[in-house]
């Protein structure tokens, strides 16, 4: 079944001029980009987006970091997209990510881990809606 996920290239990866590298990996990996935009989140927006992590000790730093510079937001589509994409980008901590994955190659540490990816169909729906209206997504 075709599935959609939400991903974003994080501020340190944009600042490091790896947008093209990451998008090339995504396209070559068989993911179709249905929507794409670059934007700079406010701290409040980052706080809302990562609300599920509100109780975690890294929440403050995370929202600071995610609002520190522009990000590239994307909606991807593929069969079994959510689980496959999480495998494709590698573990949250780039030091533990499998060789050849986006996070292993472009991530710095557990916070500056290059890309975000939705972790479930429910969260994918919420996260896509957070950034894109239906008419901003190609069919
Ligand atoms: P992401 O996949 O965007 O989901 C939550 C983010 O919190 C994670 O990637 C990291 O950028 C950040 N983070 C910082 N510290 C931790 C941690 N100890 N465990 C998990 N995520 C962390």
Residue 121: which CATH number? 3.30.70.141
User: Residue 116's beta-bridge partner residues?
Assistant: 8
In this structure, is residue 60 part of a structural domain? yes
Q: Count other Cβ atoms within 10 Å, centred on residue 101.
A: 19
- In this predicted structure, the answer to whether residue 55 has a pLDDT above a threshold of 90 is yes
In this structure, is residue 139 part of a structural domain? no
Q: Is the CB of 58 under 6 A from ligand 1?
A: yes
**Structurally, how many domains does the chain consist of?**
1
Please say if 18 is a catalytic residue: no
Cα dihedral: 25, 12, 64, 69 (round 10)? -90
CB 128 within 8 A of CB 75: yes
Residue to probe by mutation, ligand 1, list 110, 115, 117, 126, most atoms within 8 Å of CB: 110
Strands 71-79 and 115-117 come out as: unpaired
The tens digit of pLDDT for each residue in 68-121 reads: 999 999 999 999 999 999 999 999 999 999 999 999 999 999 999 999 999 999
In this structure, is residue 59 part of a structural domain? yes
In this structure, is residue 138 part of a structural domain? no
- In this predicted structure, the answer to whether residue 139 has a pLDDT above a threshold of 90 is no
* Residue ranges making up the domain that contains 30: 2-133
């Amino acid at each position: 079944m075709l599935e959609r996920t939400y991903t974003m290239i994080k501020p340190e990866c944009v600042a490091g001029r790896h947008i093209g590298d990451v998008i090339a990996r995504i396209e070559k990996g068989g993911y179709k980009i249905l929507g794409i935009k670059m934007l700079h989140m406010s701290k409040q927006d980052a706080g809302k987006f990562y609300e599920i992590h509100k109780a975690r000790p890294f929440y403050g730093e995370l929202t600071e970091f995610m609002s520190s510079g522009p990000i590239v937001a994307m909606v991807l589509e593929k069969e079994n997209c959510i689980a496959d994409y999480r495998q494709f980008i590698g573990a949250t901590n780039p030091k533990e990510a499998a060789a050849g994955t986006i996070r292993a190659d472009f991530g710095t540490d557990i916070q500056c881990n290059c890309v975000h990816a939705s972790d479930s169909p429910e969260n994918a729906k919420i996260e896509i809606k957070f950034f894109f209206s239906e008419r901003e997504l190609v069919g």
